[in-house]
Amino acid sequence: MSEESAEKISGKSTVGLVIFGPILGMLYVCLLPIIALMTLLVALPELASAKKTDILQSSGMCMGCHSSQEFTKTFRNKEKMSVFVNEKDFKGSVHRFLNCTDCHGKISLDTHPGNSAMYEDRAAFTVAMASACRKCHSDSQLKAKPNHAFLTNKTNGPPCMECHGAHGVKRIAEWKPALSSNNQYCLTCHSQNISKKHKNGETLSLHIDPSGLSASVHNKHDCSDCHSEYTRASHPVKQFQSSRTHSIAVSEACKKCHADKYQAVHESIHFKMISEGNLKAPVCTDCHGFHSVGPKETYETLSGVPCRKCHEDIFKIYSKSVHGMAKAKGTHNAPLCYSCHFAHEVKVTAMTEKIKGACLGCHKDAEEAHAKWLPNAALHLSAIACAACHSPGSGKGIYLRLYDQETGKPFTEEQMLKLMGGTYEGMARKMDPHGDGIESDELWSLVSRLNEKGSNAKVTFFGRMDVSNGSEAHQLSFKKNAVKECENCHSQESDFFKSVTVAVVKADGRMTRYKAKPEVLGSMFSLLSLRQFYVLGSTRLKVLDWIGILMVFGGMSVPIAHITLRAITSPIREAKRLNHMRKEGKR
Amino acid sequence: MKKIYLHPLPVRIWHWVNAISFIVLIVTGLQIRYREILGLMKFREAVDIHNIFGFILIFNFFIWLVFYIVTGKIKIYIPPLNLKKFVMGSLKQARYYGYGILMGEPNPHHSSPDNKFNPMQQMAYLAIMLLLIPLQLLSGLLLWDAKRFSDFINLAGGIKIVDTVHVFLFLFFMSFLFVHIYLATLGHTATAHIKAMFTGYEELEEEHGH
**Residues A534, B163: C-beta atoms closer than 8 Å:** yes
Neighbours of B136 (CB within 10 A): 23
Q: Identify any residues that bridge with A254 across adjacent strands, giving them in sequence order.
A: none
- Apex CA B18: angle with CA B14 and CA B19, to 5°? 120
> Which distant-in-sequence residues (6+ apart) come within 8 Å of B5 by Cβ?
B113, B200, B201
Closest CB from A536, A573, A587 relative to B32: A536
Does the interface ipTM go beyond 0.85?
Answer: yes
CA distance A376 to B44: 12
DSSP 8-class letter at A257:
T
pTM confidence score: 0.72
Residue A584 burial (C-beta neighbours within 10 Å; 0-12, 13-18, 19+): exposed
Dist. CA B109–CA B122, nearest whole Å: 12
CA A122 and chain centroid, separation: 37
Report cis status (omega within 30 of 0) of the bond before A113. Answer: yes
Number of Cβ pairs < 8 A linking chain A and chain B: 119
Q: Is the dihedral of CA B185, B188, B189, B192 positive or negative?
A: negative
From CA A105, how far away is CA A455, in angstroms rounded?
88
The 10s digit of each residue's pLDDT in A79-120 is 888 888 888 888 888 888 888 888 887 777 777 777 777 788
Rounded to a whole number, what is the distance in angstroms from the first to the last CA of chain B? 14
Question: pLDDT tens across B107-147, in order?
Answer: 888 777 777 888 888 888 888 999 999 999 999 999 999 98
- Name the nearest CA neighbour of A482 among A331, A370, A345: A370
CB contact under 8 A, B174 and A552: yes
DSSP code string of A503-540 = EEE-TTS-EEEEEE-GGGGTSTTHHHHSTT---TTTS-
Q: SS3 sequence, chain B?
A: CEEEECCCHHHHHHHHHHHHHHHHHHHHHHHHHCCCCCCCCCHHHHHHHHHHHHHHHHHHHHHHHHHHHHHCHHHHHCCCCCHHHHHHHHHHHHHHHHHHCCCCCCCCCCCECCECCCHHHHHHHHHHHHHHHHHHHHHHHHHHCCCCCHHHHHHHCCHHHHHHHHHHHHHHHHHHHHHHHHHHCCCCCCCHHHHHHHHCEEEECCCCCC
Pairing status of strand A511-516 against strand A500-505: antiparallel
Closest by Cα among A231, A341, A256, A247 to A290: A247
Q: Do B208 and A552 make contact, defined as CB atoms within 8 angstroms?
A: no
The answer to whether A305 and A299 are in contact (CB under 8 A) is yes
DSSP A397-408: EEEEEEEETTTT
Distance CA A275, CA B130 (A): 63
pLDDT of residue A9: 47
| Of the partner residues A376, A531, A566, the one whose CB lies closest to the CB of residue B161 | A531
Chain B residues with CB within 8 Å of chain A CB: 32-36, 42-44, 47-48, 51, 97, 101-104, 145-147, 154, 157-161, 163-164, 167-168, 171-172, 174-179, 181-182, 208-209
Nearest Cα of chain A lies from the Cα of B69 at a distance, in angstroms, of 31
pLDDT score for A556: 94
Q: Which residues contact B182 (CB under 8 A, 6 or more apart)?
A: A558, A559, A562, A563
Q: Does residue A572 or residue B22 have the better pLDDT?
A: B22
pLDDT digits (tens, 9 = 90+) for B47-91: 999 999 999 999 999 999 999 899 888 888 887 788 888 888 888
Query: What is the DSSP annotation of A373-422?
Result: HSTTHHHHHHHB-HHHHHSTT--EEEEEEEEETTTTEE--HHHHHHHH-S
- As a whole number of angstroms, the distance between CA A110 and CA A61 comes to 13
The pLDDT score that the predictor gives to residue A532 is 87
CA distance B60 to B27: 19
Angle between helices A312-319 and A322-329 (to 10 degrees): 80
End-to-end Cα separation, chain A, in angstroms: 233
Distance CA A535, CA A542 (A): 14
Please tell me the predicted confidence (pLDDT) of residue B174: 93
Nearest to A379 among B147, B157, B168 (CB): B147
Q: Look at B178 and A492 and tell me if their CB atoms are within 8 Å.
A: no
CB contact under 8 A, A551 and B175: yes
Nearest-CA distance from B30 to chain A in Å? Answer: 9
Please classify residue A352 by burial: count the beta carbons closer than 10 Å to its beta carbon, then call 0-12 exposed, 13-18 middle and 19+ buried. middle
- For A544, the closest of B145, B167, B174 (CB atoms) is B167
Sign of the C-alpha dihedral computed for residues B38, B40, B45 and B46 taken in this order = negative
Strand, coil or helix: A466? strand
Least CB–CB distance from A584: residue in B161, B168, B209 = B209
Which of the residues in chain A have pLDDT under 50?
Answer: 1-9, 50-54, 56, 351
Q: Helix-strand-coil percent breakdown of chain A, rounded to 5?
A: 55, 10, 35
- Residues of chain B with Cβ-Cβ distance to A375 below 8 Å are 44, 47-48, 51
What distance in Å separates the CA atoms of residue B34 and residue B43, rounded to the nearest whole number?
Answer: 10
Angle of helix B119-127 relative to helix B83-95, nearest 10 degrees?
100
Chain A positions in Cβ-Cβ contact with residue B42 (cut-off 8 Å): 486-487
Name, in order, each residue with C-beta under 8 angstroms of A541's C-beta and a sequence gap of 6 or more.
Answer: A522, A523, A524, A526, A527, B160, B164, B167
Name which of B43, B160, B179 is nearest A527 (Cβ-Cβ): B160
